[in-house]
Amino acid sequence: MLWFQPGHIVRGIDFTEDPLLQGRIFSYLDTQLNRHGGPNFEQLPINRPLSPIHNNNRDGAGQNFIHKNTAAYTPNTLNNGYPAQANQTQGKGFFTAPGRKVSGNLVRARASTFSDHWSQPRLFYNSLTKAEQQFLINAIRFETSQLKSETVKKNVLFQLNKISHDIAVRVGKALGLEAPEADDKYYHDNTTAGISIFGTKLPSIATLSVGVLASINSDNSIQQAKAIKKALGEEKVTVSIVGEVLGDDVEVTYSAATAAQFDGIVVAGGTESLFNGTGKSTLFPPGRPTQLVVDGYHWGKPVGFIGGAKAAAQAARVGTGKGVYLSKDVDSLVEDLKDGLATFKFTDRFPLDN
């Protein structure tokens, strides 16, 4: 975790008069003192400056250093006066403020831009894809539907309406309330890059996770799963073989598996009994293998089927749309799946408001 502290600066760089920064110079330090372990937090490697520091700090939790000098005070005679305060001529770590000029009146007041709380949220909303906007709308609906006060609900719609009339109307529909008239003072069509997750393909599929559904009762399914694991492993994709029980090749059981663990799901051949109703077992909840495919599909993830595993596709009713791969062999499936993992999410599966 990065415990960011804006008070830690590179020599030669000073602070601006930005009021938010000025406040955080204090508040971040205060937070680290009181929440992140207390004294000596600045000795943690992630917080430690590159330049070595010698001071009189000794006691307290989290002390990482073994101090060699016996005089932990200044001035002293027992250690030739060291550690000593750095100044303009002595000490490499002394801070010298860069030269700069300022003009104008310094007043204690907020700029008018601080009154605009809505332009930036609108920029965020504008930069999302339609599917991502729907996710956001659904999240707001979920949270606001739990409010008990109709007055508070209306206040939420009032604020949302300042960001986007579209948001207010769609959220209001779920609350059974009418949105206010459009308030376009802060409306704009600007967008920015780096906000959308689904907008572009991933530059690499390394570190993604794939679950291969197999059966210990079919050697063919295990061999296919191992071949998929080897092929995708060369792309640094983490592959977990899912089976009825743990073993030399099976790393995850159906009883413990969930589609949330994986970025893509593949069903190996030889697993037909798990999906056609003939393979009932006390080792996992009824329908769990099918549910893994159903959830993965509805969550927009790529799903693949090899050979006889088409029975799983039929049981899960996933169809033949984008991101659904029906292949006769491992090699062709792996190539299709690589492209699907790079796409990451197939957003055409997500329902959108009309």
Q: How many domains, in total, are found in the chain?
A: 3
d(CA 324, CA 312): 12
Whether 264 and 219 share a structural domain = yes
Whether 214 and 333 share a structural domain = yes
Split at pLDDT 50, 70, 90, the class of 56 is confident
Whether 178 and 291 share a structural domain = no
H runs (alpha helix) in 164-307: 165-175, 219-233, 272-275, 288-298
pTM, entire model: 0.69
pLDDT score of 304 more than 90: yes
Residues in Cβ contact with 304 at an 8 Å cutoff, skipping those fewer than 6 apart: 264, 265, 266, 267, 324, 325, 326, 327, 333, 336, 337, 340
Whether 159 and 219 share a structural domain = no
Q: Which of 83, 108, 137 is the last residue of a domain?
A: 83
Residue 103 lies in a domain: no
- Among 323, 317, 320, smallest CA distance to 301 is for 323
Give me the pLDDT at residue 95, please. Answer: 64
pLDDT score of 3 more than 60: no
Whether 255 and 157 share a structural domain = no
Give me the pLDDT at residue 217, please. Answer: 92
Whether 219 and 338 share a structural domain = yes
Give me the pLDDT at residue 107, please. Answer: 81
Whether 46 and 152 share a structural domain = no
Whether 29 and 138 share a structural domain = no
Residue 144 lies in a domain: yes
What residues make up the domain containing 66? 1-83
CATH of the domain at 171: 1.20.1370.20
Whether 16 and 70 share a structural domain = yes
Residue 354 lies in a domain: no
Residue 108 lies in a domain: no
Split at pLDDT 50, 70, 90, the class of 279 is low
Split at pLDDT 50, 70, 90, the class of 93 is low
pLDDT score of 27 more than 90: no
Give me the pLDDT at residue 127, please. Answer: 97
Give me the pLDDT at residue 2, please. Answer: 47
Residue with tokens 């920064």: 21
Q: Give mean pLDDT, residues 283-308.
A: 94
pLDDT score of 133 more than 70: yes
Whether 219 and 124 share a structural domain = no
Spatial strand order in the sheet of 303-306: 252-253, 238-243, 209-213, 264-267, 303-306, 324-327
pLDDT score of 229 more than 60: yes
Residues in Cβ contact with 75 at an 8 Å cutoff, skipping those fewer than 6 apart: 81, 84
CATH of the domain at 341: 3.40.50.880
Whether 320 and 239 share a structural domain = yes
Backbone angles phi, psi at 152, to 5 degrees: -65, -40
Residue 199 lies in a domain: no
pLDDT score of 74 more than 50: yes
Residue 22 lies in a domain: yes
Residue 136 lies in a domain: yes
Give me the pLDDT at residue 134, please. Answer: 98
pLDDT, one tens digit per residue, over 149-164 is 999 999 999 999 999 9
Confirm if 331 and 302 have CB atoms less than 8 A apart: no
Residue 173's alpha-carbon distances to 118, 181, 346, in angstroms, are 21, 14, 27
pLDDT score of 1 more than 70: no
Task: Please give the share of the chain, as a percent, with pLDDT higher than 90.
Answer: 59
pLDDT score of 137 more than 60: yes
DSSP per residue over 115-151, as a string?
G--SHHHHHHHHTS-HHHHHHHHHHHHHHHTT---HH
Tokens of 21: 């920064």
Whether 339 and 225 share a structural domain = yes
Residue 37 lies in a domain: yes
Residue 278: enclosing H or E segment and its boundaries? none
| Of residues 146 and 88, more confidently modeled | 146
Residues in Cβ contact with 174 at an 8 Å cutoff, skipping those fewer than 6 apart: 141, 144, 145
Average pLDDT for the chain: 89
